[in-house]
Amino acid sequence: MMNMPSTVKISLRALRVNKMRSALTMLGIIIGVAAVITMLAVGRGASNKISEQIASVGSNLIIVLPGSTTASGIRLGSGATQNLTRSDAEAIKQECSAVATTAPILNGSAQIIYGNSNWPSIVFGTDENMLEVREWTLASGRNFYDQEIRSAAKICLLGQTVVDNLFGNDDPLHKTVRIKKVPFVVIGVLAPKGQSMLGQDQDDIVYVPVSSAQRNLFGRWFPGTVRSIMVKARSTEDLDRAEQQIKELLRQRHRIGPDQEDDFTVRNLTQMMQMAEQASRVMALLLAAIAGVSLLVGGIGIMNIMLVSVTERTREIGIRMAVGAKTWDIRLQFIIEAVILSLIGGLIGVLLGVLFAQLLSFFAGWTILISTYSILLSFGFSGLVGIFFGFYPAYKASLMNPIDALRHE
């Protein structure tokens, strides 16, 4: 068999001679590879962002809501039944071994006023455990003390968005804001978390003691009750057990008979979010698959050109055979031609794909993630496409009868 360097040289010359055709053939691969890289970057960026958001919500979360769930998952009577209490939250924390901590929630929207500024936000009545449950850290100030929860102190923690809109550059600590015209003293500022999975601004938030919320803000509609309880399980493995324990405990506490339905709903938040994450992964894969199809089309383009090329160069093949080219000499020549085409196309495609992904993130603000893995994958794949689609034309060429090839017009 002839030596590699000269085969490569022969192939390169053949490609140079037909510049335009080579370029057009490559275009298919370029578009395919660029599409794969961009799609993977966008897809992985999106699923990564979702993972980050899940982490920002807090891990191993279960939420307990009042009202029952039907088999189809629709919650009934959520407005009507208000049967979750702060002591339910306390009991879950004390008695369920799989639970790390809990925080009651009594929330509502309200105008927050400071001086001449006012800002509509969501106010959560909760207790000192909330920061642990949601894995918040404080940018400044301090958390609630449990005795302040018991005494319904008029104090609050503000999210960054609220601070920005009410205080501008001023330090909010120890200032008094008015929530529904009730004065609250700012004792802390929450570190920013950014957007949630649903695109909500998680920093547009105010925390007050749940007791103060009941007494001064939202107690009128829900006397003595809370709207939900957030539960943090000890670990991801404990989630299912925690869910079970909560159900048993609440059924007992709410005196629900064996034939009766739950008057509450337990939702595994982490599981739901993981499902969303899963979905976004599938989406990313789907995008990549679509891009892969265009790579395949590019490969078929290469095969088409190589077939034309074989027909066009039948005489050349005949001459080479006459002077001693063997089956694999001819095959290699055409395969290498195809591989060079697809690798150069792949290289340009990678560069274009990376550039395009960067542009998307720069101008459209999409989160992208370009991994070496996706680059290697699409580059390697384009090489394979070259071998795969180059082989048939090469095979065809190598089987020609020397004299028929020589006589070809």
Partner 1 sequence: MALIETDHLEKRYEVGDSIVHALDKVSLQIHRGEFVAVMGHSGSGKSTFMNVIGCLDEPTAGTYRLDGIDVSSLSRDALAEIRNQKIGFVFQGFNLLARTTALENVEVPLLYNKDGSKNRRERALEALRTLGLEDRRHHHPNQLSGGQQQRVAIARALVNNAPLILADEPTGNLDTKTSIEIMDLFVRLNEEKKITIVLVTHEPDISTYSKRIIHFLDGKLVSDEANRR
- Contacting positions for partner 1 (CB under 8 A): 2-3, 6, 10, 13, 17, 315-316, 318-327, 329, 401-403, 406
- Cα 342 from chain centre: 32
> Which of residues 168 and 324 has its CB atom nearest to partner 1 in the complex?
324
Closest separation between CB of residue 17 and partner 1, Å? 5
Closest separation between CB of residue 349 and partner 1, Å? 29
On whether the CB atoms of residues 84 and 228 are closer than 8 A, the answer is yes
On whether the CB atoms of residues 162 and 112 are closer than 8 A, the answer is yes
> Which of residues 184 and 334 has its CB atom nearest to partner 1 in the complex?
334
Closest CA to 187 of 171, 204, 174, 199: 174
For residue 286, what are the CA distances in angstroms to 42, 291, 293? Answer: 12, 9, 11
Closest separation between CB of residue 378 and partner 1, Å? 33
Pairwise CA distance, residues 92 & 102, whole Å: 7
On whether the CB atoms of residues 156 and 186 are closer than 8 A, the answer is yes
Closest separation between CB of residue 344 and partner 1, Å? 20
> Which of residues 150 and 315 has its CB atom nearest to partner 1 in the complex?
315
Closest separation between CB of residue 274 and partner 1, Å? 59
Q: Is the dihedral of CA 193, 198, 199, 203 positive or negative?
A: negative
Closest CA to 166 of 210, 110, 212: 110
Closest separation between CB of residue 322 and partner 1, Å? 5
Pairwise CA distance, residues 156 & 183, whole Å: 10
Q: Read off the DSSP letter of residue 137.
A: -
Closest separation between CB of residue 16 and partner 1, Å? 9
Closest separation between CB of residue 3 and partner 1, Å? 5
> Which of residues 85 and 333 has its CB atom nearest to partner 1 in the complex?
333
Give me the DSSP letters along 325-339.
--HHHHHHHHHHHHH
> Which of residues 2 and 276 has its CB atom nearest to partner 1 in the complex?
2
3-state SS, residue 409: coil
On whether the CB atoms of residues 152 and 209 are closer than 8 A, the answer is yes
> Which of residues 201 and 329 has its CB atom nearest to partner 1 in the complex?
329
For residue 17, what are the CA distances in angstroms to 14, 22, 211? Answer: 5, 9, 83
3-state SS, residue 71: coil
> Which of residues 185 and 322 has its CB atom nearest to partner 1 in the complex?
322
Residue bearing tokens 């095959």: 331
> Which of residues 82 and 327 has its CB atom nearest to partner 1 in the complex?
327
> Which of residues 10 and 26 has its CB atom nearest to partner 1 in the complex?
10
Closest separation between CB of residue 303 and partner 1, Å? 24
Residues found in the chain: 409
Tell me the HSE value of 37 on the side-chain side, using a 13 A CA sphere: 31
